[in-house]
Amino acid sequence: MKLLIIEDDIDLNRSLVKLLKTQQYSVDAAYDGQEALDYLRISSYDVIISDIMMPNLDGLGVLHYLRNHQIKTPVLMLTAKDSLEDKVVGLDAGADDYLVKPFEFEELLARIRVLLRRENREHLTNTVTFGDYCLDFARKTIRQKGNLVDLTSKEFELLEYLVRHPNIVLTREQIREHIWDFDYEGESNIIDVLVKNIRKKLQDPTVIQTKRGVGYVFAYDKTV
């Protein structure tokens, strides 16, 4: 799972990144809201952990950007203020949870797990149809005109990741971190091999498009 930490306190930011990596999370770190937007324009995350009071652009500004761009990634807000009014403002802006500083790391981990479970439950109810294909996230299957396509678990994970981020170019690094959740040290071309296998099994090389020198994108125009 990939997380984004947005926190202008350098020591706290570095500590969170270090501790979260010990839990096998892949973590990017931004030190203000504007830097966070740079990350969000090129990458996607499973959970975002954001401070509120930051220079350049505060946490609420980042939250407004996410929701205005229909990015539904769960957001956990960090705040030094414990007033009900501050929490209501953040929740109304689209935050999913709040954690007041100072906090225990174990509580942060527990809240992250809750957000991930919630997100997974929402995903499990979904199916996506494109062309002759129907992708069932709950059953982890894909069918072409009703016929089951035999994908391996990693092939399905890769295809699902791309389908959930349509028209967004995902780098090989992003895909690797999402599928394996740790520093994979196997074959360097494993992502390319998986994509080749998916295209062959679906009998449609256009389902996943290659962006040379960058990565891959699911660019099917008509999904349901």
pLDDT reading at 92 higher than 80? no
Q: Which residue has the higher pLDDT, 126 or 201?
A: 201
Lowest pLDDT segment from 16-20, 103-107, 185-189: 185-189
> For 3-152, where are the alpha helices, taking DSSP H only?
10-22, 33-42, 59-68, 84-92, 105-124
pLDDT reading at 187 higher than 60? no
The sign of the CA dihedral 202, 203, 208, 213 is positive
C-alpha dihedral (209, 27, 73, 106), degrees to nearest 10:
150
Task: Tell me what the pLDDT averaged over the chain comes to.
Answer: 84
Q: Which of the given ranges, 3-7, 113-117, 190-194, 216-220, has the highest pLDDT on average?
A: 3-7
- Specify the pLDDT at position 224: 46
CA angle at 132 for the pair 126 and 135, rounded to the nearest 5°: 25
Find tokens 């059953």 and name the residue. Answer: 139
Q: Is 152 left (phi over 0), alpha (psi -120 to 50) or beta?
A: beta
pLDDT digits (tens, 9 = 90+) for 51-71: 998 988 999 999 999 988 878
Q: pLDDT band at 88, cuts 50/70/90?
A: confident
pLDDT reading at 7 higher than 80? yes
Domains and CATH numbers, the chain: 2-123 (3.40.50.2300), 126-217 (1.10.10.10)
pLDDT digits (tens, 9 = 90+) for 103-143: 999 999 999 998 887 766 555 557 888 888 998 877 788 99
Please tell me the pTM assigned to this model: 0.58
Q: Do 20 and 3 contact (CB within 8 A), yes or no?
A: yes
